[in-house]
Chain A
Amino acid sequence: MKTNKYFCPQLYLKFALAVAIVFPGVSTLAVTTQKKKTSSSSQASSQPQKSRKSSAKSAEGKLSQMASSTKPTEKKTSEKRTAERRGGIEQVASSGHQSLSQALSHVRAGNYQQAVPLLFSLSRRSDLQSERAQIKYILGNALLDLKLYQVAAFMFVDVIRSGNAKYAKPSVEKLSLAADALGDDTLLNYALSRIQPDQVPDAGKDLITYRLAEIKMRNGHFEQAAQLLTKVPIESRYFFQAKYKRGLAYLEAGHTAEAIKVFQNLLAVRSGAGVTDTNRVIAQMALARALYQAQDWDGAIAAYREIPRDHDLWHEALFESSWAMLRGARFRSALSNFHSLHSTYYEDYYIPESLLLRSIVYLYICKYDEMEKVLNLFEKIYAPLSSQIAHFINHAADPLSYYQEVESAYNYSIGKDISVKTKLPLKVSLFVIREGDVKRAFGYMRNLNEEKNRIESMPALMRSSFGPFAKKILSNRFKNAKISIGEMAKAHLQSMRNELRDLYEQAGFIRYEMINGRKEQLKKVIAGKDIPKTTVDEQLDKTFYVQNGYEYWPFDGEYWLDEIGNYHYLGKQSCE
């Protein structure tokens, strides 16, 4: 630990002791808050709001007054003590308040890198016990300005836990901003658990309302959530997310028509944005899902088709539209989609349901040979997968071993390490990292890493005792985030294992239907009913398309990236 030039020598030991006492508390908080982490698919992020500066200034103002007015008070107290001791205390108090004045002037001038080490050391001083909450609040604000959100959050948590009536409430608001910027649900939940909807402060009201509605949704109070979300104003940066969530809340509550209206409205709002604008695509996807829920199969198919191919959600749209096609009895179209979905481009995708869906389509059109092939493929791919998942779950108890698996998959997905070796099949790990909560947790870790780099690039902080303190906080958060991701991964794996078990049962039923269908077909053959066996390519007239500007490329076994999504199945049903 390096001494700061603002420290007086006799305080140094005291400070070191204070930090040593504080650190274990920090670690404990990190563990306990992380364990409460819940999943969220929210994509919101935020920057600190302007309102922070005004509240920081008011806190500064009061502290400035104190810094200048404490000398007479100290003098009154010291009259009751010996002259020698009085002199020592005065020296300490005087140096403390000088440092405080200096720190505040740095804050006022916007020199946060100079202010932070000073404020940090002052927040540890016993002679400034009564001002500690205010100092930490100002320190937290300065750290927010430096975009050191995690460390700032710790300061605000300390203020909230201190129960200081004046600073706890604004700290909750600031904590929610920091947590939002970090993408950390644990901190956010901690902050929001201390707010009642009617006590939401004006600054950051939209964010807090939005997050409170999210919590309502998680708890299954969809009507209340929808109601709360209407309060996010159109000028808020959370308006889009709030409206989207409102649509989802309506869907969950069974108000499909309202949900469709909300999503259509949302799409209209984003109509000026680019085709691949994520918000626009998300709205389009939500509309397609809502139409599906309303059993408007054609509407859903048309809405899914509007998802642009060069957007990540297109893969989901391709699969989900196959469901709509099946329900709308558009079997040929569904099979066209399956040819893309079951190409080698999707060999790393975990989509067991799609194979069963394909076999069901074949069942509808009496293609029992194809159906058997697909069912066999399902068993060939997913039987070993299921046992590997079960084996892993039974043998891995430590969340960090789960984390290692998904970390390898994550590195693979960002092209960092393509020679990845994992105990779990890659498609399983990749599926887990695509889940909303895991994705968000990795995003949080990325933010932590950026914060660590930011701290290391600030020499004024690194030279002071604040540097090691901040790095230790981040290190603890990294560790806990890894544990948290490991626990999420474990939960997903367990649910995958259960899902596969269910799908296996369904595959059994489908196979039974296939055998039954074959039996009926055989009966017809025996009864003398002719079932011709010509092939499409022998007699199909392709000239219509060729003459209309299209090219005809017969599928010959290899898959091209530009062909994915453009396959067309030309078979017809074999049922009589």
Chain B
Amino acid sequence: MKNFLIPIIVLFTQISIAAEVIELPEEELAKETVLPRFDNAVTVKNKNIITLNKIETSVYFGWNFTEPIYNQSKMGMNVGYHWSEDSAFMLNFAKWSGGLNTQYTDQLYSQYKLDFSRAPKPEYSIYGNYELKAYYGKISLTKQGVMNLHLYPILGAGITKFQHKNYFGANVGVGWKFYFSKNWSLRTDLKFQFSQSPSPFLKDKMKTTDGVPLPSEFQDKWTYSTIFDLGVSAIF
């Protein structure tokens, strides 16, 4: 991160002779870590990324890492508005992929003949999130170029629609945006979601030999999920 480094800032400029290794006098290189004093000093001026009064949209691919039964993946989009340089509100829409998390369900099926396709599955979810743009910085990944970044805590609530019913939930997390340009960025959100959902385990109703249960027979329960979204975001 920028703040942990002692930078040499180099200016690009037109020159009219052949380029070569330019030797800067040793005594001119940065040796102080203290900051100059200004009246009403701010950390950065003439920011590259301005979000005030701008709309942001993004498309993403996401995963619920802790989901054992249903398919972990989803696709979705964010649409939101930045009403200040510090705050934004985003609507996060997700379409959950159908099917099951076969890594576990296939094993359960082969060993115990448990058929989790009988359980009601998540279809869509929509969450409203407040994003606090707590940190604006820049990072040099290659030591040859610079990317701006935003880091923002996320707090929100919403609903997830299953086949038979809608379930409420809340999430909290943190997001990063790495800007390729003033408008485009790579957006990554990591959220911890606490929500209601139907428990896919229903006694005496899950084996292929058992009668097919109604979705309403599955009991509701509160669960924690860890969700990661990765996408591309545009701000305009």
Contacts and interface: CB of A to CB of B under 8 A. Distances in A.
Most buried by A among B12, B15, B22, B144: B15
A531 B6 contact: no
B28 A333 contact: yes
A557 B9 CA distance: 11
B50 to A, nearest CB: 10
Interface of B: 2-3, 5-25, 27-30, 32, 34-48, 138, 140, 143-146, 148
A508 interface: no
User: Nearest 4 pairs between A and B by C-beta?
Assistant: A539-B19, A571-B13, A310-B34, A344-B45
A369 to B, nearest CB: 8
Q: Chain A, interface size: which category? A: 35 or more
A28 interface: no
Nearest to B25: A333
Contact of B36 (A315, A370, A413): A315
Given A544-B23, A559-B44, A561-B38, 15 more contacts: A309-B32, A310-B32, A310-B35, A344-B46, A345-B45, A535-B12, A535-B13, A536-B12, A545-B8, A554-B144, A554-B145, A558-B47, A560-B138, A565-B36, A567-B9
B20 A541 contact: yes
Contact of A561 (B10, B15, B39, B41): B41
B140 A570 contact: no
Given A546-B143, A553-B7, A553-B140, A561 B44 contact: yes
Contacts, number: 186
A540 B41 CA distance: 33
A563 B16 contact: no
Interface of A: 302, 305, 308-312, 314-315, 333, 336, 339, 343-345, 348, 369-370, 412-415, 418, 430, 531-542, 544-546, 550-572, 574
B72 to A, nearest CB: 38
B9 A561 contact: no
Contacts of B41: 345, 561
B227 to A, nearest CB: 32
Contacts of B15: 534-536, 571-572, 574
Contacts of B18: 532, 534, 539
B6 A551 contact: yes
A402 B131 CA distance: 46
A305 B27 contact: yes
Contacts of B45: 343-345, 558-559
A344 B46 CA distance: 7
B27 A309 contact: no
Contacts of A343: 45-46
Contacts of A344: 45-46
A533 B13 CA distance: 11
A158 B151 CA distance: 67
B4 to A, nearest CB: 10
Contact of B9 (A309, A415, A566): A566
